[in-house]
Amino acid sequence: MRRKGFLIVLSGPSGAGKNSVMNAVFPTIPNLKYSVSVTTRPPRKGEVDGVDYFFRTEEEFDELIQQDKLLEYATFVGYRYGTPKDFVMEQIANGNTVIMDIDIQGASQIRQKMPEAVFVFLLPPTRAELEKRLTLRGSDAQGEIAKRLQKSWEELQHVVHYDYFIINDELSRAAEQLRNIILSESSKVSRIDLAELQSLWEGRG
C-alpha cells in the first residue's frame, strides 16, 4: 500500500560510516531515495558530480540560496553544503522515503521546518576508531582530519536532539538497525493515507 512519503535525516561525525551504512540499506528498500547535496568542497578521488554531490562554486551556491532552492544549508570546516529543496519535496509528495546525510546544523534547520521527519544519529564506537577510519580513508589531508576530529565531540553531544542512534561498530549490524528504523517508521499510522486504504479495502487498489 502507498504510504505518505517522509524524510530521514542521518547525521554523525565525518567518518562515522554514513555512506557505507546507507549503501547497505538501499538495495533492501525499493522506495528509498537519496538526496544528493550541493557543496563547494572539491571532489575527492572517485567522487562523481550529480551522484555523490553536486559540486558547485561559491557564486553558484549563493545563487541557489537567493533563488530559495535549498531546504537547508550550512558551513562545515570551511565548505558550504546544502540540500536541493525540489527533489526532496517531489519525492515525499510521490510517497517515497528520502534519506539525507547532513550535519547537525542542517538537521536543526530541518527540525524547525519539518518536525515530522525522522532523525537518526550514527556514531563511531570511539574517537580512536574514528581517527583510524579517517586516516585509512585517505581522502582528506592530515590537517583536514585533525579539524574533523576536533569537531567530533562537539557533534556527538547533539545526539540528544535525535530520535534514534546507531553505533557503527559492525557495518552489517548498523545497516540492519537503520533498515529496522525505516521499516518501523513507515508502518506508523500517521503515514497511512486513509483514501488509499479505503480503495484497497474496497478492492479498487
C-alpha grid cell for residue 119? Answer: 532523525
**How many residues contact ligand 5GP, by CB under 6 A?**
14
Q: Which position among 8, 9, 22, 82 is part of the footprint of ligand 5GP (CB under 6 A)? A: 82
Polymer length of the chain: 205
- Does the protein bind ligand 5GP through residue 185 (CB under 6 A)? no
* Chain position carrying cell 519539518: 114
Q: CB 51 → ligand 5GP: shortest distance, Å?
A: 13
Query: Whose CB is nearest to ligand 5GP?
Result: 106
Distance between CA atoms of residues 57 and 64, nearest Å: 11
**Surface-to-core class of residue 147, CB atoms within 10 Å of its CB (0-12 exposed, 13-18 middle, 19+ buried):** middle
Q: CB 74 → ligand 5GP: shortest distance, Å?
A: 4
- The three state secondary structure string of 18-44 is HHHHHHHHHHHCCCEEECCEEECCCCC
Closer CB to ligand 5GP, residue 3 or residue 92? 92
Kind and range of the H or E element at 84? strand 79-84
Closer CB to ligand 5GP, residue 2 or residue 147? 147
- Does the protein bind ligand 5GP through residue 72 (CB under 6 A)? yes
**Surface-to-core class of residue 138, CB atoms within 10 Å of its CB (0-12 exposed, 13-18 middle, 19+ buried):** exposed
- Does the protein bind ligand 5GP through residue 17 (CB under 6 A)? no
Closer CB to ligand 5GP, residue 3 or residue 133? 133
- Does the protein bind ligand 5GP through residue 162 (CB under 6 A)? no
Q: Which position among 3, 5, 7, 83 is part of the footprint of ligand 5GP (CB under 6 A)? A: 83
Q: Which of 76-84, 116-124, 172-180, 192-200 is the region at the interface with ligand 5GP (rule: CB under 6 A)?
A: 76-84
Q: What's the sign of the alpha-carbon dihedral 123, 125, 126, 128?
A: negative
User: What three-state secondary structure class fits 112?
Assistant: helix
- Does the protein bind ligand 5GP through residue 103 (CB under 6 A)? yes
Q: Which residues of 79-110 are buried (b: 16+ CB within 10 A; e: fewer)?
A: ebbbbbbebbeebbeebbbbbbbbbbbbbbbb
- Does the protein bind ligand 5GP through residue 101 (CB under 6 A)? yes
- Does the protein bind ligand 5GP through residue 102 (CB under 6 A)? yes
Residues that bind ligand 5GP (CB under 6 A): 14, 37, 41, 72, 74, 76, 81-83, 101-103, 105-106
